[in-house]
């Protein structure tokens, strides 16, 4: 049922000039935006998606760098909402490469005929709440405008790329690419001197691939990370059949685990078993695919320092075994954080890259970059010449895409200013003062620590039911109360307090030294786990959307 105050789509709205009007505007056509559009259509709502890129897929549309692939098992990542889709689509590899995932996103868009309600090449530059009309007005980069009762952001947790804060970026005369804005055309490395700046999850994938064909590769490393083996393999026909026959069990397992991955933590504490048993368990996990080593480990390795020390020591041993030059191995071993307290890159031969004669490592802790020059990179110790520089410097995570839109709520309040000292939200789905704006995979949501599509489906289903409820009851406005927001924000910080990672600077704690104003540690995600988060969201809904003011 549709609320009486919902507006029907039309090309021109009274008093708003040329603004197009919809019941709901969704920003972003990644998995979140695509699924939200599908569910709103089922609800009979008119919705329009505005997407900056010229295709669907979000992350998988933009991140075309060499080596880009899943860390999630492919068969746990795809949408679960359509049995037909699950049976039709066959993943070729346990951890699909980016082209396969982009193909999947396009397949979903075609199957559910999504493109007719998506405007591509449409970057939303502003979004302002008009209190009198109880509507949002968005402004696109090219001046076009559109209005709607509800605004749903699906702009991605890792979608605002950042370049390093180094002078001279514009001076370089060779080829330069950011991994998150990789060209659609084939980029060749043969015969070239290539530099990669950054050794996070993306850098590790890129470096491993580029080293295979570049004439010479120089890796500029500021912070080494603890990388664990991905152990990818093709999916054979028998396994394919088994996967397709067991989707309900697969998704049930994901649903019950902390981060909706197939891996669940071992119920034992690391120090309660003998050193031999512990070592054998680590060895077994090290040989398992995906995030088993991170997520399937002893339950206390990410919260107890002594437990964490045991796993970090095991990993140090592995790096020393795999890298032939002992001095180089030491440079690749993290010293400022324990295993798992920053995002763990999964690798397929990363450490062995450093045994190749065409690869060198520059440790930026010893010799920092001073500037990019017309022909390369100058550190405090040397001037290096390159044909290509690849910036694997990641994203202004979680709130970056919000900051890049001028979002104004009631009384013109700017979201960026409200969140200047860290996000404030209720359930990670709304922020007080921004009525009718709902934030999928936003800050303080369980989604950030999640096998994300599992959490996207939860977020979208919850938002869709909220809109249905409002329609049925004749409500046209929903806003989180200040009290509910305070309590949730407090709970988010409390939920993270016991984690070792809260003591470490990383994008998970809101620190990005390449972005002005991102130097202070805060907490960006809900760390109580997806099951608890889902329970809380369901409870709020069951109590008539407790903590939200509906009118
Ligand atoms: C390299 C890489 C690998 C990853 N691997 C995994 C993995 O293995 N498992 C996992 O669970 N997660 C992974 N992730 C996280 C990934 O982002 C999510 O899995 C998921 O794709 C998020 O979907 P989304 O739709 O919420 O956001 P996105 O896919 O980021 O889509 C957001 C969309 O919004 C658009 N947008 C943003 N701002 C605007 C604006 N102002 N106007 C218009 N459009 C806008 C963007 O162009 C983008 O298309 C990975 C991320 C990266 C970067």
C-beta separation of 275 from 282 below 8 A? no
Q: Give the residue carrying structure tokens 């390369």.
A: 376
Retrieve residue 421's tokens. 């000292």
Q: Are strands 145-153 and 383-385 parallel, antiparallel or unpaired?
A: unpaired
C-alpha 243/C-alpha 250 separation (Å) is 8
Short-list 193, 225, 432, 231, CA closest to 316: 225
Short-list 363, 294, 308, 300, CA closest to 337: 308
Distance of CA 518 to the CA centre of its chain: 18
Q: 149 — phi, psi (to 5°)?
A: -75, -40
Residue 434 burial (CB count, 10 A): 24
Of 39, 181, 198, 452, the one to substitute when testing ligand 1's pocket (max ligand atoms within 8 A of C-beta) is: 452
242-278 tens-digit pLDDT:
999 999 999 999 999 999 999 989 999 999 999 999 9
Which pLDDT value is given to residue 90?
A: 98
Which pLDDT value is given to residue 298?
A: 94
Which pLDDT value is given to residue 527?
A: 87
Which pLDDT value is given to residue 9?
A: 33
C-beta separation of 406 from 162 below 8 A? no
Which residue intervals of 196-235 are DSSP H helices?
201-210
Euclidean distance between the first and the last CA atom of the chain, given in angstroms as a whole number: 17
Of ligand 1's listed atoms, the one at least distance from the Cα of 70 is 8
Whole-angstrom CA distances from 166 to 194, 255, 361 are 18, 43, 19
Pocket lined around ligand 1, Cβ cut-off 6 Å: 27-33, 50-53, 58-59, 61, 63, 68, 70-72, 77, 123-124, 154-159, 202, 401, 404-405, 441, 451-452, 456
Of ligand 1's listed atoms, the one at least distance from the Cα of 401 is 38
Q: From the CA of 418, how far away is ligand 1's center (Å)?
A: 24
Cβ neighbours of residue 141 under 8 Å, at least 6 residues apart?
Answer: 122, 123, 124, 125
C-beta separation of 201 from 177 below 8 A? no
Q: Are strands 359-363 and 369-373 parallel, antiparallel or unpaired?
A: unpaired
Q: From the CA of 312, how far away is ligand 1's center (Å)?
A: 30
- What is the mean pLDDT for each group of 10 consecutive residues in the chain (551 residues)? 31 52 97 98 97 98 98 98 98 98 98 98 98 98 96 97 95 98 97 97 98 98 96 98 98 95 94 97 97 92 94 97 98 95 94 98 97 98 98 94 98 96 96 98 90 97 98 98 97 86 75 77 85 97 98 98
Which pLDDT value is given to residue 342?
A: 87
Which pLDDT value is given to residue 17?
A: 53
Retrieve residue 273's tokens. 């078993």
Q: From the CA of 159, how far away is ligand 1's center (Å)?
A: 6
334-345 burial code (b ≥16 CB/10 A, e <16): beebbbbbbbbb
Whole-angstrom CA distances from 490 to 66, 237, 399, 441 are 41, 49, 18, 19
Which pLDDT value is given to residue 502?
A: 74
Short-list 159, 60, 72, 69, CA closest to 103: 60
Retrieve residue 306's tokens. 């002594």
C-alpha 413/C-alpha 477 separation (Å) is 18
SS3 per-residue string spanning 426-492: ECCCECCCCCCEEECCCCCCHHHHCCHHHHHHHHHHHHHHHHHHHHHHCCCCEEECHHHHHHHHHHH
C-beta separation of 188 from 330 below 8 A? no
Which pLDDT value is given to residue 496?
A: 83
C-beta separation of 160 from 400 below 8 A? yes
Cβ neighbours of residue 257 under 8 Å, at least 6 residues apart?
Answer: 263, 264, 295, 530, 531
C-alpha 473/C-alpha 391 separation (Å) is 51
Short-list 440, 432, 522, CA closest to 479: 432
Q: In a 3-state reduction of DSSP, which class is residue 102?
A: helix
Q: Indicate which residue's Cα is closest to atom 29 of ligand 1.
A: 58
C-beta separation of 23 from 148 below 8 A? yes
Which pLDDT value is given to residue 444?
A: 94
Indicate the pTM of the whole model. Answer: 0.95
Helix (H) or strand (E) holding 373: strand 369-373
């Amino acid at each position: 049922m549709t609320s009486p105050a919902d507006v029907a789509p039309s090309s021109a709205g009274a008093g708003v000039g040329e603004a197009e009007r919809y019941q709901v505007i969704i920003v972003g056509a990644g998995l979140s935006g695509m699924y939200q559009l599908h569910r709103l259509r089922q609800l009979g709502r008119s919705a329009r998606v505005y997407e900056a890129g010229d295709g669907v897929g979000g992350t998988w549309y933009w991140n075309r760098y060499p080596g880009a692939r899943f860390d999630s098992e492919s068969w746990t990542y795809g949408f679960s909402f359509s049995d037909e889709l699950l049976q039709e689509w066959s993943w070729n590899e346990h951890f699909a490469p980016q082209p396969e995932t982009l193909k999947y996103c396009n397949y979903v868009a075609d199957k559910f005929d999504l493109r007719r309600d998506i405007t591509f090449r449409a970057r939303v530059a502003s979004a302002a709440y008009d209190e009198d009309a109880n509507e949002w007005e968005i402004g696109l980069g090219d001046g076009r405008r559109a209005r709607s009762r509800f605004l749903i952001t699906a702009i991605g947790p890792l979608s605002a790329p950042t370049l390093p804060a180094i002078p001279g970026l514009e001076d370089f005369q060779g080829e330069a690419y950011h991994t998150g804005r990789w060209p659609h055309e084939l980029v060749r490395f043969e015969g070239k001197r290539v530099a990669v700046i950054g050794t996070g999850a993306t850098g590790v994938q890129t470096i491993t691939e580029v080293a295979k064909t570049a004439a010479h590769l120089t890796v500029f490393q500021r912070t080494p990370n603890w990388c664990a083996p991905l152990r990818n393999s093709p999916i054979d026909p028998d396994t394919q059949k088994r996967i397709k026959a067991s989707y309900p069990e697969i998704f049930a397992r994901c649903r019950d685990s902390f981060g909706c991955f197939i891996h669940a933590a071992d119920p034992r504490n690391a120090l309660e078993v003998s050193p031999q048993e512990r070592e054998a368990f680590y060895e077994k996990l090290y040989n398992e695919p995906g995030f088993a080593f991170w997520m399937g480990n002893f339950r206390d390795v990410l919260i107890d320092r002594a437990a964490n020390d045991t796993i970090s020591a095991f990993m140090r041993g592995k790096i020393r075994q795999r890298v032939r030059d002992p001095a180089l191995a030491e440079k690749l071993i993290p010293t400022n954080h324990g295993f798992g307290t920053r995002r763990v890159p999964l690798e397929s031969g990363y450490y062995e890259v450093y045994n190749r004669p065409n690869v060198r490592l520059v440790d930026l802790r010893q010799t920092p970059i001073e500037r990019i020059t017309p022909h390369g990179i100058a550190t405090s110790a040397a001037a290096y010449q390159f044909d290509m520089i690849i910036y694997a410097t990641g994203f202004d995570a979680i709130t970056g895409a919000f900051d890049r839109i001028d979002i104004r709520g009631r009384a013109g309040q700017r979201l960026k200013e409200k969140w200047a000292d860290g996000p404030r939200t209720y359930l990670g789905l709304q922020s007080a003062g921004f009525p009718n704006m709902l934030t999928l995979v936003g800050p303080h949501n369980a989604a950030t620590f999640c096998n994300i599509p599992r959490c996207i489906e939860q977020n979208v289903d919850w938002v869709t039911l909220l809109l249905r409820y409002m329609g049925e009851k004749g409500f046209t406005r929903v806003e989180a109360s200040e009290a509910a927001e305070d309590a949730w924000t407090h709970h988010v910080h409390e939920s993270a307090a016991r984690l070792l990672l809260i003591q470490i600077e990383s994008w998970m704690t809101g620190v990005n030294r390449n972005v002005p104003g991102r130097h202070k540690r805060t907490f960006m995600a809900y760390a109580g786990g997806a099951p608890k988060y889902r329970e809380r969201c369901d409870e709020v809904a069951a109590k008539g959307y407790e903590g939200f003011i509906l009118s």
